[in-house]
Structure 1
Amino acid sequence: MSVEEEAKQVVRRYVEAFNRGDMNTLRALLAEEAEIQGVFGKGLFEKIEPIWRQLIEGYGMQLDIQSLIAEGNVVAARYVESGTFRAPAFGHQPTGKSYELVAMEWFEIEDGKIKRRWGTRDSAAQARQLGIPLGA
């Protein structure tokens, strides 16, 4: 298997674990000092885990891979991200509303683990679709 295919496989495992809400597997897929950056900030797993939990448990976030592009150990992922606001998250009560948008993440893989991960999505569109007042 090529370096690119191995790197893509790590990203696929990450998405599968994220969609299951499997924090133990997510932690195992990250290098010891993996840096995770996204809409809500950046940090190591300990800082990001509570954010991911709210996204998964509160918003029911699911990632559907649309494309993976790799060059060496770097992988770019484009997803359709969707979910339903079903439990309290980020200081808001659930609305029962659903959302769908395009999201992208960029990964650096080292020794079969995620060394760095950057993520971006249209959080304003997400909030509108979920019925969360903007700026709240």
Structure 2
Amino acid sequence: MSIEEEAKAVVLQYVAAFNQGDLEELKALLAEGAEIQGVMGQGLIEKIEPIWRQLIEGYGMRLQVEELIAEGNIVAARYVETGIFRAPAFGNQPTGKSYELVAMEWFEIEDGKIKRRWGARDAASQARQLGIPLS
């Protein structure tokens, strides 16, 4: 397997764990001291885990891979992200509304683990679709 195929396989494991809501598996895929950056903040897993938990449990967030591109140990992923606001999250009560948007993430893989992850998504579109007031 090429380095690109190995890196893509790690990202696919990440997506599967996220879609299953398996935060322990997500943590196991991260290298020690992995940096996670996204629209809602940046930091190590201790800071990001509560955000991911609210996205998974509150918004029912799921990722559908549309495209993975790898060069060496760097992987770019484009997803269709969907969810339904079913549980309290980020200080808001559930609306029962669903959302769909395009999201992208960029990964740096090292020794079969995620060393860095950057995410970009249209959080304003998500809020509008879920019926969350924009402040």
Q: Does the pair score TM above 0.5?
A: yes
Q: CA deviation at 1:70?
A: 0.1
Q: What is the CA-CA distance between 1:75 and the residue it aligns to?
A: 0.1
The structural deviation recorded for 1:39 is 0.6
Task: Write the deviation string for residues 25-44 of structure 1: whole angstroms up to 9, x where unpaired.
Answer: 10010001000000111000
Measure how far apart 1:110 and its partner are: 0.1
Structure 2: runs of 5 or more not aligned: none
- TM-superposition CA deviations, 1:87-116 (whole Å, max 9, x none): 000000000000000000000000000000
Q: Percent identity?
A: 80
Partner of residue 102, structure 2:
102
**What is aligned with 1:124?**
124
**Distance (Å, rounded) in 2 between the aligned partners of 1:60 and 1:39:** 18
What SS does the corresponding residue of 1:14 show, helix, strand or coil?
A: helix
Write the distance in 2 (CA, Å) between the matches of 1:18 and 1:54.
12
After TM superposition, give the deviation of residue 8 of structure 1 in Å: 0.1
Q: The residue matched to 1:128 in structure 2 has which SS?
A: helix
Q: Secondary structure at the match of 2:37?
A: strand
Q: How does 1:1-136 map to 2 (within 5 A)?
A: 1-135=1-135
Provide structure 1 residue ranges, at least 5 long, that are not aligned to the other structure.
Answer: none
Q: Return the letter of the residue paired with 1:42.
A: Q
Q: Deviations over 1:2-34 (max 9, x none)?
A: 000000000000000000110111001000100
Distance 2:17 2:108 in 1: 18
Q: Count the aligned residue pairs.
A: 135
C-alpha RMSD of matched pairs (Å)? 0.3
SS at match of 1:51: helix
Q: Distance in 2 between matches of 1:47 and 1:21?
A: 17
